[in-house]
Amino acid sequence: TMACLTAMDAGDGLNAYVHKTPDMALEMAQAADVRIKAGDAPAMCGIPLGIKDLFCTKGVASQAASRILEGFKPEYESTVTTQLFSSGAVMLGKLNMDEFAMGSSNETSCYGNAINPWKVDDRKLTPGGSSGGSAAAVAADLCLAATGTDTGGSIRQPAAFTGIVGIKPTYGRVSRWGVVAFASSLDQAGPMTKSVRDAAIMLEAMSGHDPKDSTSADLPVPDFEAALTGDIRGKKIGIPREYRMDGMSAEIAKLWADGTAMLKDAGAEIVDISLPHTKYALPAYYVIAPAEASSNLARYDGVRYGHRAKLGPGDGITEMYEKTRAEGFGHEVQRRIMIGTYVLSAGFYDAYYNRARRVRALIKQDFDQAFASGIDAILTPATPSAAFGLGEMASADPIEMYLNDVFTVTVNLAGLPGISVPVGQDTKGLPLALQLIGKPWDEAGLLNHAYVLE
């Protein structure tokens, strides 16, 4: 904890932490010390963590990197952080992210973007998003591990861009209670760590049934660390042909081939598979996620939480809502609210939202069929490229940014577990990663396959 606190101050240039809690960290570390000396040390005891700003932490600013939550200090602790802290973990502070987790570069944060500790010729690179602060902090040793959340790739893509491990568990494995909602049918929290073993240990501490989240699954949590045997002999790995997108770079194609060879050398059987509805995933995601977001974000009205605009004479409640939301939400969040409201409106509901839901069911069916045919895990690239330069994608066309999520959103739409593992480097020496997609509730198997790739 002491080493991380020093590193955090030295690493201020990365803008990874938006709120540091050193006093709390020292108190928690001392309490962990007592437990360790008493021989009562759970797995996470004394481990210093950074917490994504999307998690509500009791008495500590929790703003989802949005101006609209300015001054919000929750009265309660999220289930995930409660579980981590009761297992002895120490909180170092809150980590930067895209506003309300909407983005792939951390550039929509009200705190300004976090910066990737990896660089090429002094060019500043994005750590990815939305869990960009988490990724930067873990990669730069400003914490031992961090929490992330993933609605369409926000754990896996930043993990890939910074050379760390990130797992999005099966939908329902980890409680969403106390995590600021973006798109509730897609959101899952997960660990971002330096190794697969760390991911296994931390995921176990985060998982489990929570009666406060009606979508949380009442299933036992396996010993994920014990699953890391490295033995994948006879396992069937699916290589989906639809992920071989037009224009895939030679580097990514080679990385994917190398990863496939590693799994084959370890005794797995490699099988070509088809997931025919893949190409509709991105458009379906960018209808469903904004639709749910527009509904979830309706609660930020200037009355219940955080920021309220200054009102002029004659301003009524409507002006209060309008001014507060216009000032409080950034551009990307406003764009999503508008898209979401549009696709849910009476005249367009069937044409957009219902159609996207049908596409989602077909995408899930593709995966179900692959797993029913005996496939144990699916291997794909995690991202279409290595980390890009800050400002490079935040151009006039938001679609360019959305394309970053092409390999990751299918997993959220189908509710499956997915893990990003650093496997190689591009020609400039930047980290590249592969993604493994697992069967529902098979995080144990998924972690073990990732362990072989690591």
Q: Residues 153-182: x/- map of binding to ligand GLN (CB under 6 A)?
A: xx---------------------------x
Q: How far is the CB of 384 from ligand GLN (least distance, A)?
A: 13
Q: Contact, 382 vs 152, CB < 8 A?
A: no
Q: Among all residues, whose Cβ is closest to ligand GLN?
A: 154
Catalytic residue selected from 87, 104, 105, 130: 130
Q: ω into residue 184 within 30 of 0, thus cis?
A: no
Beta carbon nearer to ligand GLN, 169 or 302:
169
* Cα distance between residue 335 and residue 184, in whole Å: 18
Write down the residue that tokens 């289930």 correspond to: 79
- Reference 144, options 314, 1, 270; nearest CA is 1
CA angle at 309 for the pair 308 and 312, rounded to the nearest 5°: 135
323 is catalytic: no
Cross-strand pairs, 65: none
* Cα distance between residue 127 and residue 139, in whole Å: 9
Q: How far is the CB of 190 from ligand GLN (least distance, A)?
A: 11
**208 forms part of the interface with ligand GLN (CB under 6 A):** no
Which listed residue (15, 78, 134, 151) binds ligand GLN by CB under 6 A?
A: 151
Can you read off the two tokens belonging to residue 215?
Answer: 């979508």
Q: How far is the CB of 109 from ligand GLN (least distance, A)?
A: 12
Q: Residues 288-327: x/- map of binding to ligand GLN (CB under 6 A)?
A: -x--------------------------------------
Which listed residue (150, 198, 251, 366) binds ligand GLN by CB under 6 A?
A: 150
For 11, the 3-state DSSP assignment is coil
Amino acid at 4: C
- Reference 191, options 242, 244, 143; nearest CA is 143
For 55, the 3-state DSSP assignment is strand
Beta carbon nearer to ligand GLN, 104 or 175:
104
Catalytic residue selected from 66, 104, 154, 207: 154
Amino acid at 186: L
| Binding positions for ligand GLN, 86-125, rule CB under 6 A | 101-104
| Binding positions for ligand GLN, 399-428, rule CB under 6 A | 405
Cross-strand pairs, 51: 94
Q: How far is the CB of 151 from ligand GLN (least distance, A)?
A: 4
* Cα distance between residue 194 and residue 196, in whole Å: 7
* Cα distance between residue 333 and residue 137, in whole Å: 25
Catalytic residue selected from 20, 52, 235, 439: 52
Query: Considering only 146-154, 300-308, 362-370, 378-386, which stretch makes contact with ligand GLN by CB under 6 A?
Result: 146-154
* Cα distance between residue 239 and residue 380, in whole Å: 7
Q: Which residues of 303-330 are buried (b: 16+ CB within 10 A; e: fewer)?
A: eebbbbbeeeeeeeeeebbebbbeebbb
Beta carbon nearer to ligand GLN, 346 or 399:
399
* Cα distance between residue 451 and residue 85, in whole Å: 26
Q: How far is the CB of 169 from ligand GLN (least distance, A)?
A: 14
**56 forms part of the interface with ligand GLN (CB under 6 A):** no
Q: How far is the CB of 435 from ligand GLN (least distance, A)?
A: 13
Q: How far is the CB of 105 from ligand GLN (least distance, A)?
A: 9
- Site size toward ligand GLN, by CB under 6 A: 13
**130 forms part of the interface with ligand GLN (CB under 6 A):** yes
Catalytic residues: 52, 130, 154
Binding site for ligand GLN (CB under 6 A): 101-104, 130, 150-154, 182, 289, 405
